[in-house]
A and B are shown apart, each in its own frame.
Chain A
Amino acid sequence: MIEVEDLRVRFGQNEVVKGVSFSVPRGASFGLVGESGSGKSTILRAFSGLNPAWTGRMALDGARLSPKRDKGFFRRVQMVFQDPYGSLHPRQTVDRALSEPLLVHGIGDAQPRILRALAEVALPQAVRFRYPHQLSGGQRQRVAIARALMAEPEVLLLDEPTSALDVSVQAEVLNLLADLQQARGLTYVMVTHNLAVVTHLCARVGVMQGGELVEELSAGDLRAGRTKHPHTADLRALTLNLEEPDL
């Protein structure tokens, strides 16, 4: 479904993504982990079309992507951002946010679609005409997910979707994402710094360091410690140290 080959992204003189390649089959989840500045979010933004300054080859469902995307692309690929406080327009109600993709793509019967979308992300009807500042962090992230699903995409790009949320809300959102994937057969690419989160949702994990994909392994191998690159081992050790300090 997704193919990325030798992707390079520059900001001025700095090359922040240095030739990254990976592929994700339809209906699968791929996780990218790494520290800030490792280039993991930049890959997502380049694939989504938000950053056109890249070289290499990226393809969606076999069709090669150009830096400029057409409307059809945005019906198939959507993104959920890290900060639920920043990703919703502060002066627009939930209803307006959800109807925007419908208006852009000329999709009819907005009312039932919006109600269905709210139900799908387990939000009560009462929030439909609220402004973002009247919602909790978890509710906002649900709205952001609902908005991404309005145009019925096949691929969802998740940029740290739970790291700004409380742990109890994180569990709810991760469960929701798992349910949605099963119900709709979505393909996920998730960026995070949290190994426990990434192995929970993604079967395959790519580890980024300094703009390079230093290792790609299965979630099972990462759990069991069958790592090849020292950076992967370091990240795993830090997580374990907090999870099981006695080991």
Chain B
Amino acid sequence: MLVEIRNLSIRFPTPRGETEAVRGVSLSLGQEKLGIVGESGSGKSLTARSILKLLPSNARISAERLAFDGTDVLSASEADMRAIRGRRAGLILQDPKYALNPVMTAGSQIAEAWRAHRPAGARAGRKEAAEAAVDLLAQVQIRDPGRVAGAYPHELSGGMGQRVMIAMMLAPSPDLLIADEPTSALDATVQAEILRLIEDLVSRRGMGLILISHDLPLVSHVCDRVAVMYAGQVVEELPARDLRHARHGYTRGLLECLPSLIHPQQRLKVLNRDPAWLDPTGVPR
């Protein structure tokens, strides 16, 4: 198992006592594509980030087991985590504008990521790293990798920036890719290309993928398996192709309230939140 999460709970202190943002989540992931879907505040990003221990500093985290490829994340030191982050697991964020260094060219950022994560002893020269960067840019299907390598982030479009981000994450050949809303800042045409690219790279390199999104149809399009989160819990986990036959009221409600291009409705269905969904014992597994 690449990732094992058992009974994960993440709490935050507030002036009026603790709030529990993630409540008893269990998930596991092998070399496959898992989608985590939920509305804002459902705890989907926190759950995925806990694997890399990238949580806000005031978060209190506890779990029966939280492991990345056998390493216990909860007891791991900051140095151990640094060896995992970036090298063994990459994180792609929503907006590449904030994730790339504005005063370094795309190529030198990728080259640096590539050099930083070389195994100890295998020293690499600048030239070699620069070549590796161009090669990685070609792998993310950039037509003119040499030019993009010399460009600064503000000279790149949103889709191009996201490709550079992906190339950077691929530099150390990670085992796991976590993509947190990777396309919600992008246009529909670019979104389709980026998702196809991620899908393709993940299957070709045999990586695990966790795709976090609020867009249920999109996730089921890309992933093998979908976990639906509501108020900090996984309310339903099912194979992506069975999405139409979802059993949980929340999953079905989410699907039904989407407007459709080909099935026009006079009035959209709205989600009626059933208080029973909040009850962990009432969750059908």
Contacts and interface: CB of A to CB of B under 8 A. Distances in A.
Q: Do chains A and B touch in the complex (CB under 8 A)?
A: yes
A166 B189 contact: no
A239 B258 contact: no
A30 B258 CA distance: 20
B118 interface: no
B259 A196 contact: yes
A234 B188 CA distance: 10
Contacts of B271: 168, 171
A171 B187 contact: no
The interface residues of chain B, by DSSP majority, are classed as loop
A200 B158 CA distance: 28
Nearest to B192: A238
B265 A200 contact: yes
A200 B261 CA distance: 8
A196 B269 contact: no
B257 interface: yes
Interface stretch (B14-22, B84-92, B214-222): B214-222
A38 B214 CA distance: 25
A240 to B, nearest CB: 7
Contact of B257 (A170, A194, A222, A245): A170
Contact of B188 (A168, A222, A238): A238
Nearest to B40: A166
A202 to B, nearest CB: 12
B217 A168 contact: no
A235 interface: yes
A238 B218 CA distance: 11
A242 B221 contact: yes
B248 to A, nearest CB: 14
Interface residues of B, number: 28
Interface in A170-200: 170-172, 174-175, 178, 193-197, 199-200
B258 A167 contact: yes
A36 interface: yes
A222 B262 CA distance: 9
A235 B221 contact: no
B262 A234 contact: no
A219 B261 CA distance: 9
A241 interface: yes
B121 interface: no
B192 A36 contact: no
A70 interface: no
Contact of B40 (A137, A178, A195): A137
B104 interface: no
A193 B261 contact: no
The interface residues of chain A, by DSSP majority, are classed as helix
A223 interface: yes
Interface in A211-247: 219, 222-223, 234-236, 238-245
A61 interface: no
Contact of A35 (B187, B221, B258): B187
Nearest to B41: A136
Interface in A29-62: 35-36
Interface in B61-116: none
B261 A199 contact: yes
Interface in B229-285: 253-254, 257-262, 264-265, 267-271
B188 A235 contact: yes
Interface string A194-210: 11110110000000000
Contact of B261 (A168, A175, A178, A196): A196
Contact of A244 (B214, B218, B262): B262
A170 B257 CA distance: 8
A238 B268 CA distance: 22
17 contacts: A35-B187, A137-B40, A167-B257, A168-B253, A168-B254, A170-B259, A172-B270, A175-B267, A175-B268, A175-B270, A178-B267, A193-B188, A199-B259, A238-B192, A241-B221, A243-B217, A243-B261
Top 10 A-B residue pairs of the complex, sorted by shortest distance between their CB atoms: A171-B257, A168-B271, A35-B187, A171-B268, A166-B39, A200-B259, A196-B259, A196-B261, A238-B188, A242-B217
Interface of B: 39-40, 158, 187-189, 192, 214-218, 221, 253-254, 257-262, 264-265, 267-271
Given A171-B257, A196-B259, A242-B218, 16 more contacts: A166-B39, A167-B216, A169-B39, A170-B259, A171-B269, A171-B270, A174-B259, A175-B268, A178-B267, A194-B259, A196-B261, A219-B264, A238-B192, A239-B261, A241-B192, A242-B217
